[in-house]
Structure 1
Amino acid sequence: MTCSSPILITGAAQRLGKAAALWFADQGYPVIISYRSDHHDLSEFHQKGIITLQADFSTPEGISDFIHHLKQQTSSLRAVIHNASDWLPDSSDMEQMSEGFTRLFNIHMLAPYLINQQCQPLLLASDGPRDIVHMTDAVVSKGSRKHGAYVATKAGLESLTQSFAAMFAPQIRVNAIAPALIMFNEDDDDAYKAKALKKSALQTEPGADVITRTLDYILNNPYLTGVVIPVEGGRSVV
């Protein structure tokens, strides 16, 4: 499949975002990614012609700066996939609590909100299907004892899915994916892995491919908007 308008994937220097970016590039899509830290090896992206833009979504200024540079790179977009995320535990210190919540709010809610609004003309400039996908979290439906701010801001992003679906219809479809455990981190020990796997009915680490397949399904389904697709291995039935 080929498309002249790029797919934008935020926070795509590693893990799920990286897998999606490389897969879409292999399918013939132009791809633009944002990445947060300059320690990432970006050579694999550049070899596939993927445009990489450094961005700090933790501040309004950083979000605005990213949007400015994005508009210098392209005049249209096929899709926007909001994958940028941060994982901060709650703190007992009031100052840290405030700073952490603000950071998570900016990354999970303010950045998608502003990017969607500012990129609407770029999406409308594409002459084919147009999609926005929010990456939320399956834990939104259950809450968390230790990551309340994280869950709250992901829940806010999930709510924005319905709002933008209503605002941008019928020209732009807006959906969300709510994953649970998809990939372990390299430093996760065996005890943690065993405990985590038991939280789902399927008790498996599926890998990034299940998210890439879900993204492909969303972008190629002409009758889907305003929905949240759980990709969580049956956590809701355990």
Structure 2
Amino acid sequence: MSQSPILVTGGAQRLGRHCVERLLDDGQPVIISYRRERESLEALRRRGAVTLAADFSSEAGIHDFLARLKAQTSSLRAIVHNASDWAPDSLDDDAGANFERLFRVHMQAPYLINLHARELLDACQEPQRDIIHMTDYVSQKGSRKHAAYAATKAGLDNLTLSFAAMYAPSIQVNAIAPALVMLNDDDDEAYVEKAKAKSLMAKVPGPGVIYQTLRYLLDNDFVTGAILPVDGGRHLR
């Protein structure tokens, strides 16, 4: 594994945490960003993960994170933009603020980090360097209740294409677009059955399928500008 760390934003829970744990299993140094302190963070720290608090809901917060990231490491093997906010649309006076927050987390933070952390990727001595955006199946379909979420994830899809063209051939830039792959602890059996029925594969596979896709991108030196669906054939329903 590379001795230059991989940055995983939003790496303290769910998909991000699983990918961080698997990277650590592989002997890969990892830096994660997190929005608030969680019990899971201490376990990751004990395993060697470097953790940096980050507030991506403001431009100032993004630049503050970048400054502390550069103080922490002189190089990066890859950046995995996993930080996300699954917020429903609002019909009250907070609708604009809600959209702006999602824009900053899903688009502005990746955009600024990709620009200002490029020097860290360029400093990596490994032959392959990657930027990987975690987008979403709904970016192609839209959403009745999460329009702002879907729109800003679609913007991240587009940033994938732009940065792939901008940074080739030295840095590969790709995206992973999952549908539902994980359940919450409080999801009841009716919800589980409904979720399974949405894909042709008729299951909720768990986060391992996302790490498999991430690992593929990290190990393949001839893929860039791709948005890889991990949706169990849901797009064919």
Q: What TM-score results when the alignment is normalised by the length of structure 2?
A: 0.98
Contact 2:177 2:229 in 1 (8 A): yes
Q: Provide the rounded CA distance (Å) in 1 between the counterparts of 2:195 and 2:26.
A: 33
**Counterpart position of 1:26:** 25
Of stretches 172-181 and 200-209 in structure 1, the one that deviates more from structure 2 is 200-209
**Counterpart position of 1:221:** 220
Q: Provide the rounded CA distance (Å) in 1 between the counterparts of 2:25 and 2:191.
A: 34
Question: What are the superposed Cα offsets for residues 183-207 of structure 1, whole Å, 9 maximum, x if unpaired?
Answer: 0011222222221211111111111
**Counterpart position of 1:107:** 105
**Counterpart position of 2:182:** 183
Q: Provide the rounded CA distance (Å) in 1 between the counterparts of 2:135 and 2:23.
A: 20
SS at match of 1:77: coil
SS at match of 2:224: coil
User: Structure 2, unaligned stretches of length 5 or more?
Assistant: none
Of stretches 148-157 and 24-33 in structure 1, the one that deviates more from structure 2 is 24-33
- How far has the Cα of 1:39 moved from its partner? 3.4
- How far has the Cα of 1:48 moved from its partner? 1.3
**Counterpart position of 2:133:** 134
Q: Provide the rounded CA distance (Å) in 1 between the counterparts of 2:179 and 2:138.
A: 7
Q: Provide the rounded CA distance (Å) in 2 between the counterparts of 1:237 and 1:42.
A: 38
Contact 2:6 2:28 in 1 (8 A): yes
Contact 2:11 2:33 in 1 (8 A): yes
**Aligned length in residues:** 236
Specify whether residues 101 and 40 from structure 1 end up closer, same or farther in structure 2 by C-alpha distance, changes over 3 A only: farther
Displaced runs of 4 or more, over 4 A = none
- How far has the Cα of 1:6 moved from its partner? 0.3
Matches within 5 A, 1:159-178: 159-178=158-177
* Letter in structure 2 aligned against 1:215: L
SS at match of 2:199: coil
**Counterpart position of 2:235:** 236
Matches within 5 A, 1:63-78: 63-78=62-77
- How far has the Cα of 1:226 moved from its partner? 0.3
SS at match of 2:40: coil
Contact 2:77 2:130 in 1 (8 A): yes
- How far has the Cα of 1:20 moved from its partner? 0.6
SS at match of 2:60: helix
* Letter in structure 2 aligned against 1:127: Q
2:114 to 94, 113, 116: 116
Q: Provide the rounded CA distance (Å) in 2 between the counterparts of 1:105 and 1:29.
A: 30
Question: What are the superposed Cα offsets for residues 103-125 of structure 1, whole Å, 9 maximum, x if unpaired?
Answer: 00000000000000011010000
* Letter in structure 1 aligned against 2:131: I
Identity %: 56
SS at match of 2:132: strand
Matches within 5 A, 1:22-101: 22-93=21-92, 95-101=93-99
**Counterpart position of 2:14:** 15
SS at match of 1:42: helix
SS at match of 2:66: helix
